[in-house]
């Protein structure tokens, strides 16, 4: 799982497998963002899940949010090679409406 | 459609030299604007944000400054670069702050030598 100042974590899976990435945060948050970043590009939002939502889906992606354990997860079903990217969670847990804090990220490699 | 453009795409600069990076957002009135920095292999660290022209708030002090001279423009600068300034600089905008999605530019790659 990701958070804090640790370096990027790495996951390597075979094409067609399912994968789950975890994210924990330290204080109350109203929203968790999940972004993917392709090499050399800026991050792109893939799912935004709010504190009143337990689950949100977008195609093969599924995000969950458990406010009691202060954690979120992003799952990819039947991963494809094009899912290879770095995935970040981000929250407003650091306080302030304009302070979005990113976790340390997960490098996902999907191998054909 | 909204577009976000960052310039330059990449820079190689000497330690002690000045720096100016720019970001322009088109198609969106009065967006909230942000600067982030990313070390190679690292996460994104927020540097500044601005919710209106002429007002910029600092989040992390890294010997950098930011300005918002126009509604659609955000500038990141320093008079003296340090080796530690190397990295990937990203500009982003959102409508309502951290409760809404952020749209990032393509970034500027900076190498300080």
3-state secondary structure labels for all residues of chain B: CCEEEEECCEEEECCCCCEEEEEEEECCCCCEEEEEEECCCCCEEEEEEEEECCEEEECCCCCCEEEEEECCEEEEEECCCCHHHCEEEEEEEECCHHHCCCEECCCEEEEEC
Say which range, A2-6, A22-26, A105-109, B48-52, has the weakest mean pLDDT.
A2-6
Answer yes or no: do A104 and B105 touch at CB < 8 A.
Answer: no
Find residue A88's DSSP bridge partners.
A35
d(CA A98, CA A23): 20
Domains of chain A: 9-111 (2.60.40.10)
d(CA B32, CA B103): 11
pLDDT of residue A4: 44
Strand, helix or coil at A47?
strand
d(CA A68, CA A22): 15
Residues lower than pLDDT 50 in chain B: none
B106 touches chain A (CB under 8 A): yes
pLDDT of residue B83: 97
d(CA A111, CA B17): 43
Across chain A, the runs of DSSP E, i.e. the strands, are 9-14, 19-24, 31-37, 44-50, 55-58, 61-66, 71-76, 85-91, 101-102, 106-111
Contact B28, B3 (CB under 8 A): no
Nearest CA in chain A to B90: A42
Homologous superfamily of the B3-112 domain (CATH):
Immunoglobulins (2.60.40.10)
Which residue in A33, A41, A97 is closest to B107 by CB distance? A41
Provide the CA A13 distance to its chain's centre, in angstroms: 17
pLDDT of residue A2: 54
d(CA A25, CA A46): 19
B2 touches chain A (CB under 8 A): no
Test mutation, A3, A4, A52, A100, chain B, max B CBs within 10 A: A100
Report which of B11, B34, B41, B42 is spatially closest to residue B109, judged by C-alpha positions: B11
Element (H, E) at A42: none
- Is the pLDDT at A65 greater than 50? The verdict is yes
Can you give the residue ranges of every domain in chain B?
3-112
pLDDT digits (tens, 9 = 90+) for A34-43: 999 999 999 9
Which residue in B41, B59, B98 is closest to A92 by CB distance? B98
In the DSSP assignment, the letter for residue A75 is: E
Q: What is the mean pLDDT of chain A?
A: 90
In the DSSP assignment, the letter for residue A2 is: B
d(CA A13, CA A78): 10
């Amino acid at each position: 799982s990701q958070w804090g100042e640790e370096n990027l974590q790495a996951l390597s899976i075979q094409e067609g497998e399912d994968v789950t990435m975890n994210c924990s945060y330290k204080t109350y948050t109203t929203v968790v963002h999940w972004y993917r970043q392709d090499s050399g590009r800026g991050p792109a939002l893939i799912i935004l899940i709010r504190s009143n939502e337990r689950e949100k889906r977008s195609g093969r992606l599924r995000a969950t949010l458990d406010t009691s354990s202060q954690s979120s997860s992003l799952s990819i079903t039947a991963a494809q090679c094009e899912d290879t990217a770095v995935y970040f969670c981000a929250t407003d847990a650091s306080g302030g409406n304009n302070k979005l804090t990113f976790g340390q990220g997960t490098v996902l490699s999907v191998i054909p | 459609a909204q577009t976000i453009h960052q310039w330059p795409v990449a820079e190689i600069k000497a330690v002690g030299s000045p720096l100016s990076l720019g970001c322009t957002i088109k198609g969106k009135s009065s967006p909230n604007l942000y600067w982030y920095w990313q070390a190679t292999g690292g996460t994104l660290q927020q540097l500044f944000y601005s919710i209106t022209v002429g007002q910029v708030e600092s989040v992390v002090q890294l010997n950098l400054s930011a300005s918002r001279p126009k509604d659609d423009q955000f500038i990141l600068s320093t008079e003296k670069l340090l080796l530690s300034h190397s990295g990937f600089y990203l500009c982003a905008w959102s409508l309502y702050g951290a409760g809404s999605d952020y749209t990032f530019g393509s970034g500027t790659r900076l190498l300080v030598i």
